[in-house]
Structure 1
Amino acid sequence: MFKLVQLLDDNAVRTLRDIAASGTFVDGKISNPHSRVKNNLQLHDAAAYERSSKILLDAMVRNADFMEFSFPARIAPPLLTRYTPGMHYGLHPDAAYIPLPDGQLRTDVSCTVFLNDPADYDGGALHVQLGNADLRFKEAPGVAIVYPSHTLHEVEPVTRGERLVAITFIQSLIPDVQQRNLMYELNEIAALEGGKMEPANFTRLQAVQYQLLRMWRR
C-alpha cells in the first residue's frame, strides 16, 4: 500500500529549495478554510508554482516506480508546503475530490516529496495509521512516499527548524487499492521473471495482466 520512490536528483532538490526560498508562502488554510487540523504554509506565487510543479510533474512521469505503483490517470500540480516550529497537520483522511481548473480530481493516491534533510528539523514526521500499526516517514531529500489517500495520516508538530515538502494527489486508472496493489505485484513478477518463462506461458501471463487492467480500469 506504500511505496518509497527516489524521485528527484540533487540538482532538482536544490532548484526547488531555491524556488521556495524566494517564493511567497501564505497560511495553508487558504485552500481549506474550514479545516480544524491544518496548520502550515503553502506556496502562493503563480510563477513559482508553475515552475516548481513542472519540475516535480516531469520527474514523476519519468519515474518508472512512481508510474507503475500509482497507475496515474491525472496528477494534481504538486504544491510546495512549509512547516515551521509549532506547525502541524492533525490526523485526517484526504478529501475524496479536489477542484482543479480542468475539473474535479478524485484522490486515490497521495504523495509527499521530501525536500530538506531530516536532520534540519525535529518532529514533522508523516505519521500514518494503518489499523493498529503506526508508520512514520521522514525521508532524505528527493524521496517521495506514495500511499492511499483514504488512510488516516498527520504531520506531527515541528519543534525545531523547517520542514519543506511538496504534496500532490493522483487519480488512478485503478481506483481500488487492493486491485491496484495486485496489478502492481503481477506486473513486477512479469518484469522480473518473464524472461525465464516459456514464451507460451509468458504470453498467457500477459493476457491475464491485460484483461485485469480492462476489468479494473476506470
Structure 2
Amino acid sequence: MLLHIPQVLSQAEVATLRADLARHTWTDGGATAGAQALSIKRNLQFPPEHAAFAGLSQRVAEALMRHPLFLSAVLPRQMLPPMFNRYADGGHYGDHVDNALQRQRFTGEQVRTDVSTTVFLSEPEAYEGGELIIDDTYGEHEVKLAAGDAIVYPATSLHRVAPVSAGERLAAFLWTQSWVRDAWQRKMLFDLDMNILKLRARLGDCEEVLALTGTYHNLLRQWSE
C-alpha cells in the first residue's frame, strides 16, 4: 500500500528544520551504501554521527508518531531514527530494495524494515526531477509531494530517485518495523479502521460500529507479533 500522509510537518516546522540542517556539513551518501548500491547512489546525507543529528531526527519521528494516518497505516512497533538526504546537480539513486534488517544506531538492536517512509522537505517547484519512483504489482508510481508531506510504502518495493536536474531535493527518510509483518494484512486493517471512523462520524457508537471495532481489534490481536 502506498499512502500519502499530508502535513506531517507544518510549514513552520519544515522551515526551522531546513535552516538547522543548513548550518552543518553534509557527507557523501555513498558512505552508507552497500556494495551493490554504491554504484547507483549519488547524493549527500546528514551524518548520523553529528551531535545535532539525534535532535533533528527526533523532530521528524515525533511528528510522524502524532499523525493518526501514520499510526493506522504503519502500526509502528519500532522506528529507526529518521535520516536526511539531499539531491542536487544530477544526484540520483538507482533501482534498489532496502535492506531487510538494519541496526538501530542508538541501541544497537536489529530492526526488520517492513515500511519505508519519505518526508519531503523541499517544495516540488524548488527542483526539477527528483521523483521517488516506486514499483508494485500495478506498475510504477511517481511521487513528488509538498514539503511536510510523507509517503509510506512497503519496504519490499523496488524504488529509485530520479536525477535532480535543477534545484535541490531535501527529504527525511526512515524505516519502521510494524506490529503486523504482512503488507496486505496491514492494508486490510487500515481500510477497516478508516471505514469504522467514517461510520462512527455518521452513526455514532451504534451496535454495528462497536461490532466492527471489535473485529478490527481481534484481527490485530491475531496478526500482530
Check whether TM > 0.5. yes
Displacement of 1:203: 2.9
Displacement of 1:47: 2.5
Q: Does structure 1 residue 83 correspond to structure 2 residue 84?
A: no
Provide the rounded CA distance (Å) in 2 between the counterparts of 1:171 and 1:38: 24
Q: What is the match of residue 203 of structure 1?
A: 210
Q: Aligned to 1:111, which of 117, 122, 128? A: 117
Letter of the 1:104 partner, please give it: Q
Provide the rounded CA distance (Å) in 2 between the counterparts of 1:203 and 1:132: 34
Provide the rounded CA distance (Å) in 1 between the counterparts of 2:171 and 2:85: 6
Q: What is the match of residue 138 of structure 1?
A: 144
Letter of the 2:176 partner, please give it: I
Q: What is the match of residue 22 of structure 2?
A: 21
Provide the rounded CA distance (Å) in 2 between the counterparts of 1:67 and 1:157: 31
Q: Gaps (5+ residues) in structure 1?
A: none
Letter of the 1:23 partner, please give it: H
Displacement of 1:177: 0.4
Q: Deviation per CA, 1:75-95, whole angstroms, max 9, x where unpaired?
A: 111111001112100011111
User: 3-state DSSP class of the match of 2:52?
Assistant: helix
Q: Identity of aligned pairs, percent?
A: 35
Note the 1:33-182 alignment, pairs <5 A. 33-34=34-35, 35=37, 36-44=39-47, 46-101=50-105, 102=107, 103-131=109-137, 133-182=139-188
Provide the rounded CA distance (Å) in 2 between the counterparts of 1:48 and 1:198: 46
User: 3-state DSSP class of the match of 1:111?
Assistant: strand
Displacement of 1:65: 1.1
User: 3-state DSSP class of the match of 1:47?
Assistant: coil
Letter of the 2:189 partner, please give it: M
- Of stretches 175-184 and 123-132 in structure 1, the one that deviates more from structure 2 is 123-132
User: 3-state DSSP class of the match of 2:212?
Assistant: helix
Retained in 1: the 8 A contact 2:199–2:209? Answer: no
Q: Deviation per CA, 1:41-91, whole angstroms, max 9, x where unpaired?
A: 100152221121111011011111111111100111111100111210001
Cα gap change, 1:194 to 1:83, in 2 (>3 Å): same
User: 3-state DSSP class of the match of 2:140?
Assistant: strand
Q: What is the match of residue 10 of structure 1?
A: 11
Letter of the 2:72 partner, please give it: E
How many corresponding residue pairs? Answer: 218
Provide the rounded CA distance (Å) in 2 between the counterparts of 1:170 and 1:197: 33
Q: Does structure 1 residue 190 correspond to structure 2 residue 196?
A: yes
Provide the rounded CA distance (Å) in 1 between the counterparts of 2:56 and 2:150: 15
How well do the aligned residues superpose, as a CA RMSD in angstroms? 1.5
- Normalising by structure 1, report the TM-score: 0.95
User: 3-state DSSP class of the match of 1:46?
Assistant: coil
